[in-house]
Amino acid sequence: MTDNAKQLASDAAAFLKDRFETDHIDIALVLGSGWSSGAEQLGEAIGEIELGAVPGFSRPVVSGHGGKLLLRRTTSGKVAAVLTGRTHYYEGRGVAPVVHGVRTAAAWGATTLVLTNGCGGLNPAWVPGTVVLLKDHINLTGDTPLVGATFVDLSQAYSRRLRDLAHTVDPELPEGVYVQFRGPQYETPAEVRMAGILGGDLVGMSTALETIAAREAGLEVLGLSLVTNAAAGMGDADLDHTEVLQTGRDAGPRLASLLAGIVGVL
């Protein structure tokens, strides 16, 4: 992490501490496509602010993402910061803005990070609406949030302990490997086949870079993907963002209940 990125995260955390009169948080969540409907069930509302008003953050530009940071007290008494949107790598702002929310959460005291996304599925058994726990990822962006000789161990990028806790809420949750592409174009059928050959089960345009930054900061990471569509070449339909949004709406009640249950045991 550069000194500038570290200072910006520190400034954002200081701003939020003052804004909410909360010295530290325990958990941070980033809600991707389809997941924002779950925010209201995560616990008692403490406060909220537009993301664009926080130092270093920009208002999310992708349809289907919210634009707020919500503070919630979970049923277990922990304080959770919920980001209802994210900056994507394909927006062209560089990798530092993509992971600024993660670094801000770490500077604010979080020890646990929950990353969610909507994605394409390679497994025909995972129909749209299926939630998959991430057990690993493949980063095909060609970039990293790390700077210099920063050797971060990613052998447990997605915490086994947190996945076990998630399985106490829903024992049937499958696990898979997420492949992050640069975007914003959807993957071609050949690229999807390549991802499968490499060991991928899911394809999307977020999450991996944030996970790397989180592990650098010492955060434990839980990843949750909502399969919004069959990946290119895996089905007959053309890919369309409206399909992603509709799947999220259809799955909204289950996602909200599942997310609340998982956060309650973290």
Cβ distance 138 to 208 under 8 Å? yes
Residue 61's CB: how many other CB atoms inside 10 A? 11
To the question of whether residue 225 is assigned a binding role by annotation, the answer is no
DSSP conformation letters of the chain: --HHHHHHHHHHHHHHHHHHT-S--SEEEE--TTTGGGGGGSSEEEEEEEGGGSTT-----STT---EEEEEE-TTS-EEEEES----GGGSS-HHHHHHHHHHHHHTT--EEEEEEEEEE--TTS-TT-EEEEEEEEE-SS--S--SS-----TTSS-HHHHHHHHHH-TT--EEEEEE---SSPPPHHHHHHHHHHT-SEEESSSHHHHHHHHHTT-EEEEEEEEEEEPTTSSSSPP-HHHHHHHHHHHHHHHHHHHHHHHHH-
To the question of whether residue 75 is assigned a binding role by annotation, the answer is no
To the question of whether residue 4 is assigned a binding role by annotation, the answer is no
To the question of whether residue 33 is assigned a binding role by annotation, the answer is yes
Exactly one of 21, 44, 50, 187 is catalytic; name it.
187
Q: What angle do CA 111, 90, 110 make, to 5 degrees?
A: 10
To the question of whether residue 187 is assigned a binding role by annotation, the answer is yes
Cis geometry, peptide bond prior to residue 184 (ω within 30 degrees of 0): yes
Residue 187 among the catalytic residues: yes
To the question of whether residue 100 is assigned a binding role by annotation, the answer is no
Cβ distance 115 to 219 under 8 Å? no
To the question of whether residue 88 is assigned a binding role by annotation, the answer is yes
Give the residue numbers of the binding site for phosphate.
33, 65, 86-88, 118, 206
Give the residue numbers of the binding site for a purine D-ribonucleoside.
187, 229
Catalytic residues: 187
